[in-house]
Amino acid sequence: MTRIFAAAIVFVFAALLVAPTSATAQPKNGKEKTAAKNGQKNGPKNGKNAAPRANGGQLGTFGDWEAYRDAREGFCYAGSKPVKQEGRYTQRGDAFVLVTHRPKEKSFDVVSFDAGYAYKDGSEVSVTIGPQSFTLFGQGEQAWARDGNGDAQLVKAMRAGATLVVKGTSSRGTPTADTYSLKGVAAALDAINKACPR
């Protein structure tokens, strides 16, 4: 597994730790940008994805997902990055999805997507898993379900699905579509459920 998210994840978890729910989460404050091309496949070789890393131990790699527990801060998360990214952009940071448990705050299964760019103000973000579609709100570079019920529905669909496609529009008006593999997501979620129980 690579460590391409090591710097970016500091900002993400700063937001996650101060926000009690997905609806009140704060966006992170910047990210190093990397070049990308239209329709570029940024997925990992051999079906392995690098998940963002926190301060603590890796619980395991499960297909295209990884799971971690941050013992110091007391939270767990499962994460993955896209296997395919599409859009007519010239610069974009790292994109990834996280499912986070924070037992101290009684917060579980919070789903967040980091786009690697700032979403257009007031825009909605769509997530499609098989025949199911979900509408999220974009705030800064992150997208969230509006409430815990939305998170629960997303997680249920993720467990049963094969791929997930998230579509959003950048602050410059550029539409993007990121495809995530859901191979291993159920096992990764089981690992964080065990490490950070309700």
Range of the domain at 35: 8-195
Residue 72 forms part of a structural domain: yes
pLDDT at 122: 86
pLDDT digits (tens, 9 = 90+) for 24-46: 333 333 332 232 333 333 333 33
Residue 3 forms part of a structural domain: no
How far apart are alpha carbons 163 and 174 in whole angstroms?
23
Strand duo 75-80 + 91-92: pairing: unpaired
Is residue 119 within 8 Å of residue 138, measured between CB atoms? Answer: yes
**Bigger pLDDT: 29 vs 165:** 165
How far apart are alpha carbons 188 and 80 in whole angstroms?
10
Residue 2 forms part of a structural domain: no
Domain CATH for 116: 2.60.40.1880
Q: Into how many domains does the chain fold? A: 1
pTM: 0.74
pLDDT digits (tens, 9 = 90+) for 38-85: 333 333 333 344 445 545 599 999 999 999 999 888 999 999 999 999
Q: What is the mean pLDDT of the chain?
A: 78
